[in-house]
Amino acid sequence: MFDRLDFVYLPSDDVAADIEYYTAGLGAELVFAIERFGTRVAMVRAEPEGPALLLAEHLEGEQPVLIFRVDDLDAATEGLRARGVTLGAPFGMPYGDGVLLPMPGPQRVAIYERTRGERGDGLAGRRDF
């Protein structure tokens, strides 16, 4: 059902400090660091083929959100509903729209459809802070 794990959304108290740690300390590549709507978000890649890590000051809670790509968000959500899964809040990101999947434990999982990849890819190299 899920094509692949594309992103891990990580809550951050200080994205600038986290960027420094991930890049200088862990050797990750900074993809972008943007500041908009009163918050900071950065994307780093720890490995070329693995999921991108999104560091976000506006993400509530302590747990990361695993964001899986699906080919068709409507079909995926219909399939989940047919299995009795209650869907959580919808969300948007530069790469496309998604929905949170409430989990029985503390884990946070979401699915999204990549419909605006060019907008997300267009952020590469941008550094606002």
The predicted-structure confidence for 13-57, as pLDDT tens digits, reads as follows 999 999 999 999 999 999 999 999 899 999 999 998 899 999 999
Instruction: Tell whether 33 is covered by a domain.
Output: yes
Instruction: Tell whether 71 is covered by a domain.
Output: yes
What pLDDT is attached to residue 31?
97
Backbone phi and psi for residue 95, each to the nearest 5 degrees, phi listed first:
-85, -20
pTM of the predicted protein model: 0.92
Burial class (CB in 10 A: 0-12, 13-18, 19+), 104: exposed
What pLDDT is attached to residue 129?
95
CATH number at residue 36: 3.10.180.10
Instruction: Tell whether 26 is covered by a domain.
Output: yes
Instruction: Tell whether 127 is covered by a domain.
Output: no
What pLDDT is attached to residue 37?
87
Which residue range forms the structural domain that includes residue 62? 4-121
**pLDDT one-digit tens code per residue, 78-120:** 999 999 999 999 999 999 999 999 999 999 999 999 999 899 8
Q: Residues 75, 79, 80, 84: is their CA dihedral positive or negative? A: positive
Burial class (CB in 10 A: 0-12, 13-18, 19+), 49: exposed
Task: State which amino acid sits at residue 113.
Answer: E
What pLDDT is attached to residue 6?
96
Average pLDDT over residues 55-80: 96
Identify whether the C-beta of residue 32 lies closer than 8 Å to the C-beta of residue 124. Answer: yes
Question: Predicted confidence band at 2 (pLDDT cuts at 50, 70, 90)?
Answer: confident
Instruction: Tell whether 126 is covered by a domain.
Output: no
In the chain, how many domains are there? 1
Instruction: Tell whether 128 is covered by a domain.
Output: no
Instruction: Tell whether 27 is covered by a domain.
Output: yes
Instruction: Tell whether 9 is covered by a domain.
Output: yes
What pLDDT is attached to residue 117?
87
